[in-house]
A = this chain, B = another copy of it.
Amino acid sequence: MMDNSARQSIEALFHPSRIAVVGASPNPGFAHSIHRLLIKGGFEGEIFAVNPRYSEVLGSPCYPSIDAIPGGVDKAIIIVPSHHVLNALEQAERAGAKAVNIIASGFGEQDDEAARERQRAVREFAERTGIRAVGPNCLGIVSTRAKMIAISGPYQAFNRGPIGLVMQSGLLAYSTTLPPMDRGFGFSYVVTTGNEADLEAADFIRYMVEDDETRVIGCFIEQFRNPEKLIEAAELAAERKKPIVVLKIGRSEGAKRAARAHTGSLVGSFEIVDAVMRRLGIVRVNNLDEMIETLAIFHTTKLPQGPGVGTIFVSGGAGGLVSDLAESIGVTLPPLAPETAEKLAAVIPPYGTVGNPLDTTGQVGQQPEILEGSLIAMGEDPNIHTVIYGQAFPTRVDLATPAGEVIRSTPVRFPDKVFLIASLVTGKIQPGGRYDIDPVEPTTEIGGVPFLQGMENTLRAVKSMNDYAEFLRNRNALPKHQAAPSDVADYAREIVLAAGGKPLVERAAKSVLSLYGIPITQESLATTPEDAVEAARAIGYPVVLKIESPDIAHKTEAGGVLLNIGDDGAVRSGFASIMSRARNYAPQAELAGVLVQEMVPKGQEIIVGMTQDPAFGPAIAVGLGGVLVEVLRDIQIGVPPLSEYDLRGMIARLRGAAILEGVRGAAPSDVDALVDVLARFSQLCLDLRDVVSEIDINPLVVFERGKGARVVDCLIVPKAGTGA
C-alpha cells in the first residue's frame, strides 16, 4: 500500500484548489514564469502571490506571508532563495498547506554543509508535519486535468493526454514535453522531482500507476532511492498492464561521477538496478528520442500477441534498410505465410515485391485498394502480430481521403493485432498525398493508429512493446522457485555463522549449496593418508586432492590441489606432498586435512556468483567460464526472486549462449539442470542475504543434456560482523 501521507500530499500537489506562489514577482525569473503559466494555463482554483513588497502580482492578490492569506492554501510553490525556505515552510504549515513544491536551489546538490543541512531540515519538516515536499532544486509540476501549469519553462500551453512523466532532471522534462507536444503528445501529469529531499520518483510513479487517466509513465532516473517503493509500484503497474518506461543513467563512469556531483550520493550498480527493472517488467530505454517513440507506441491500447512484425513500404530500398535495422535491434520480421503471399500477389503491381518487408510500390497513392489489401493480408497472417505501415517522411494522412479511410477502417477489423504508422526519419509532419500546403495538425495517432518517427527508435519501441507483452504473458505463467523449508535456511545460516566471519572452506560452502538441492561433487575430508585412500576408493578413481584449511583461501597458489590422482599410491604420496606444501606456504595455518573429491567428467564450465547491492540486496551473476567471462565480461545479472522464465532469459541473453546448444559437433548442454541450479541458488541468496556478502561458484560443470550439472568449487564469504 502507498502510504497515505504521500498520496494525500501528491493529491494536493496535482489537484490543489488554492495555491500560494511564494516569492511571486512582476520581474522575469522562475516565480514569474510559473505564476504566468498558472494563469495562462487556465488554472481553475485560486492563486495567491506571496511577497512583502507587493500587494498584487500578475493580477493575483499578494500577501506578505503565506499564513497571511485569508482562508489559507492547500499547496505552496516556494521560489524564494534557499535561506528563506525554512521560514516559508513554517508559514505554509500555519496556512494549512497539505504539500509544498520547493523550486529553490542551494540544497543537497551544493557542496557545502549549510546547504546539506537545509536539505535535512526540509526532510525533517515533512516528517514532522506530514506536509510532504517535492524538490528542492526542481522546475515544478504540471497537472493537465487541473489545468495547472506550475512549471517554469518556455511553454505556451500543455496538451492533456495519457502520458505521465516523472523526471529527476527539470531540463530533461523540457526535452520530453516540448518537441513531443509539437507532435500532438498529451500528458496527464509532469513532475520534476529535483533533489528528492522528501517525496521521490517512486512515490509519483505509484500515484500515476493508480491514476486511470495515465496510460503510460515515462521517467528519467539518476537514482532510485527506495527499492521497496519502486518494486511495489512496478508490481502494481504490471498487474494493471500499465507500462513504465525508464531512462536510467549511470552505466558509464562519467555518468556515475556526474550523479555523485549532482546528488552527492552513489548511484549504485547500474547492472543490478537494470536487472531489477527487467524482472519488474519496466521498459528500459537508452536515449530521450527513444523514450519519446516508446511513449508514443504505448498510445496503443492493444498489446501484440507475439513478436512477429509485418512491414509495408512503398519502396524496396526502405525494405532493405528496415530489414537491417530490425535484425540489429532484435525485431522479428517473419516470412509471409503462403496464403498471405498469394493474397498480396493479387494486389501488388508487378514491379513491387511480395515479402516482408512488403514493397507495394508508389502506386498505393493512386490505388488505396493496394494498401487495403496489404493491411488485410498482413492482418490475417498468423505469424504477424504487429503491422507497420511505413512512410518515407512524417506525413499527415488525410482521413477524408480513400487512403485515410482504409487506415481508419482496416485496423479495427483486427482487434488482436497492433497497427502502427511510422516514418523512416524524424521531422516536421508534411502534408499528405495531395502535396498541398495546408498547415498540418500535429498528431500522435492517425485514425487511432500510433504514429511514430525515425525507424531506428520505432523498431526499438516495437521491441520494447513486444518484450513488455511477453513479460505480461509470462509473469504469472511460471511460478517462482518454491521457497526452501525454513529449517533448511536455518541450518544453512548456522553453517555460515560457524565460520566465524572467515570465508567458508570449500566443503562447508558446498554443504550449504547441497542443503538447497544443488548437486555438488562427491567428497570427504581425510586427516590421514589411509583415510584418503579409503575415501578415494569409495568415490572411485580418478580423484582430486585439495588442502582444507580455513586460513588458505587460494588453494592452487598454495600448491594445495592435485588433479587426476589414479591409484592408492598416488593418493598417499599426494596427501603427504599437499600437507607439506601447505605447511611451507602458510606455517601458521590450521590444516584440517585433505579433501578427497571425485574428478568430474568434462562439461561446460559455468560461473555463478552472488554479490550484494547496498540498496537492492543480492544479485546473481551467471556466465560461461573462460574467455567469455574473463575477457568479454559476458555476464548476465538477475535479482532474486527469479522465475524459470527470468532465468531462461538470462541464459539466452549471454552472447555465448550458442555454446550451450552445442557447437562444432559438441552435444548440447543440460540447460534444464542449469536453470534448476540457478533457481535453487536464487532462493539460497534470498534466504542468506543477511549473513552472506558474496558467493562464487567456479565452476559449475554442466554436462550434456539429461546428465545434470555439478558444483566443483565454491566460495562463500560471510558478511562482516556475522562471526560467532
Residues of chain A at the chain B interface (Cβ within 8 Å) = 33, 105-106, 109-112, 137, 154, 156, 167-172, 174-176, 178-180, 182-183, 220, 222, 247, 249-255, 257-259, 261-262, 286-290, 292, 313-328, 333, 350-351, 353, 355-357, 359, 361-362, 392-394, 423-428, 430-431, 435, 437, 453-456, 626-628, 630-632, 655-656, 658-659, 663-664
Q: How far apart are the CA atoms of A322 and B251 in the complex, in Å?
A: 11
Q: 11 extra interchain contacts, Cβ-Cβ under 8 A, other than A111-B350, A254-B324, A631-B656?
A: A154-B430, A175-B425, A179-B426, A254-B319, A254-B320, A255-B323, A258-B323, A261-B355, A287-B321, A287-B325, A288-B425
Q: Which chain B residues lie closer than 8 Å to A289 at the CB level? A: 425-426, 454-456
CB atoms of A109 and B175 under 8 A apart = no
Q: Are A456 and B326 in contact (CB under 8 A)?
A: no
Q: Given A106-B351, A171-B362, A328-B251, does the pair A320, B259 have CB atoms closer than 8 Å?
A: yes
**Contact flag A355-B257 (CB < 8 Å), given A111-B350, A350-B111:** yes
Instruction: Closest B residue to A192 by CB, please name it.
Output: B317
A253, A262, A357, A658 interface centre (most CB from chain B within 10 Å)? A262
Q: Complex Cα distance A322/B171, Å?
A: 14
Q: Taking A172-B321, A351-B105, A430-B154 as contacts, is the C-beta distance between A258 and B316 under 8 angstroms? A: yes
Q: Nearest chain B CB to A668's CB is how many angstroms away?
A: 14
Given contacts A315-B169, A317-B172, A426-B289, contact A435 B324 (CB under 8 A): no
Question: From A178, which residue of chain B is reached at the shortest CB distance?
Answer: B393
In the bound complex, residues from chain B placing their C-beta under 8 Å from that of A663 are 630-631
Q: Are A428's CB and B154's CB within 8 A?
A: no
* Best-surrounded residue of A171, A286, A353, A435 (most CB of chain B within 10 A): A171
Q: Is the CB of B428 within 8 A of A428?
A: yes
Asked if residues B258 and A137 are in contact (CB atoms below 8 Å), the reply is: no
Partner of A251 from the list B110, B167, B327, B656 (CB cut-off 8 Å) is B327
A533 to B359, CA, bound (A): 69
Report whether B171 and A318 are in contact in the complex, using a CB–CB cutoff of 8 Å: yes
Q: Is the CB of B630 within 8 A of A258?
A: no
- Asked if B169 and A250 sit within 8 Å, CB to CB, the answer is no
Sample 17 A-B pairs with CB under 8 A, ordered by A number: A106-B351, A110-B350, A172-B315, A172-B321, A175-B424, A179-B426, A247-B321, A252-B328, A254-B323, A254-B324, A254-B327, A286-B325, A290-B456, A292-B425, A627-B628, A627-B656, A632-B632
Report the nearest B residue to A333, measured CB to CB: B254
Rank and list the top 10 A-B pairs by shortest CB-CB distance, nearest first: A179-B427, A169-B317, A254-B323, A262-B316, A171-B315, A252-B327, A255-B320, A249-B320, A255-B323, A261-B353
Question: Of all chain B residues, which has the CB nearest A156?
Answer: B437
Contact, CB under 8 Å: B323 / A252? yes
Residues on B with C-beta less than 8 A from A315 are 169-172
Number of copies of this kind of chain in the complex: 2
| Bound form: Cα–Cα A664–B351 in Å | 59
**Chain B residues with CB below 8 A from A288, complex form:** 321, 424-425, 455
Complex: chain B residue closest to A287, CB-CB = B456
Which residue, A170, A318, A327, has most C-beta atoms of chain B within 10 A?
A318
- Quick check: B175 and A393 within 8 Å, CB to CB? yes
Smallest CB separation, A464 vs chain B (Å): 16
- Taking the closest CB of chain B, its distance from the CB of A197, in whole angstroms, is 14
CA distance A631 to B664 in the complex (A): 9
From known contacts A172-B315, A317-B171, infer whether A627 and B353 are also in contact, taking CB-CB under 8 Å.
no
- Chain B contacts for A250, CB-based, 8 A: 320, 324
Distance of A357 from chain B, by nearest CB (Å)? 6
Would you call A178 and B259 a contact (CB within 8 A)?
Answer: no
Query: Which residues of chain B are near A392, meaning CB under 8 Å?
Result: 171-172, 174-175, 178
Query: Which residues of B have CB within 8 Å of A317?
Result: 167-169, 171-172, 220, 222, 249, 262
Question: Would A357 and B258 count as touching, CB distance under 8 A?
Answer: yes
Chain B residues positioned under 8 Å from A631 (CB to CB)? 656, 658-659, 663
Tell me which residues across on chain B come within 8 A of A257, comparing CB atoms.
323, 355
Chain B neighbourhood of A318, CB < 8 A: 169, 171-172
Residues of B within 8 A of A110 (CB): 350-351
CB distance from A646 to the nearest CB of B (A): 24
| Contact partners of A137 in chain B: CB under 8 A | 351
Find out whether the CB atom of A324 lies under 8 angstroms from the CB atom of B252.
Answer: yes
| Minimal beta-carbon separation of A219 from chain B (angstroms) | 12
Contact among B170, B258, B350 for A112, CB-based, below 8 A: B350
CA distance A284 to B178 in the complex (A): 32
Looking across the interface, which residue of chain B has its beta carbon closest to that of A29?
Answer: B366
Of the candidates A328, A353, A655, the one having the most CB atoms from chain B within 10 angstroms of its own CB is A353
Residues on the B chain within 8 Å of A627, using CB: 626-628, 656, 659
- With a cutoff of 8 Å between Cβ atoms, the chain B residues found around residue A316 in the complex are 109, 169, 258-259, 261-262
**Cα distance A262–B358 in the bound complex, in angstroms:** 11
B427 in contact with A252 (CB, 8 Å) = no
Q: Give Cα distance in the complex from A213 to B105, angstroms.
A: 50
Complex CA gap A327/B252 in Å reads: 6
CA distance A362 to B104 in the complex (A): 12
Across-interface contacts of A222 in B (CB, < 8 A): 317, 320
Identify the closest chain B residue to A315 (Cβ).
Answer: B171
Q: Which residue, of A251, A314, A392, A455, has the highest number of chain B Cβ atoms within 10 A?
A: A392
C-alpha gap A289/B258 in the complex (Å): 28
Closest B residue by C-beta to A177: B393
Q: Closest B residue to A656 by CB, please name it.
A: B631
Q: Which of B169, B351, B655 contacts A109 (CB 8 A)?
A: B351
| Complex CA–CA separation, A287 to B454 (angstroms) | 9
Is B362's CB under 8 angstroms from A258's CB? no
Most buried by B among A109, A175, A350, A431: A175
> Contact: A178 with B292, CB < 8 Å?
no
Closest to A362 in B: B171
- Contacts of A106 on B, CB cut-off 8 Å? 350-351
A428 close to B182 (CB less than 8 A):
yes
In the complex, the chain B residue whose C-beta lies closest to that of A137 is B351
- Cα separation A154 to B327 with both chains bound (whole Å): 31
Q: CB-CB < 8 A to A353: which residues of B?
A: 258, 261-262
- Beta-carbon nearest neighbor of A112 in chain B: B350
For A327, give the chain B residue with the smallest CB separation.
B252
With a 10 A CB-CB cut-off, give which of A105, A254, A289, A626 has the most chain B CB atoms: A254
The interface residues of chain B lying within 8 Å CB-to-CB of A290 are 456
Q: Which of B251, B394, B659 contacts A179 (CB 8 A)?
A: B394
- Bound together, the chains give a CA A251 to CA B453 distance in angstroms of 23
Tell me the nearest residue of chain B to A108, going by C-beta: B351
A453 to B289, CA, bound (A): 10
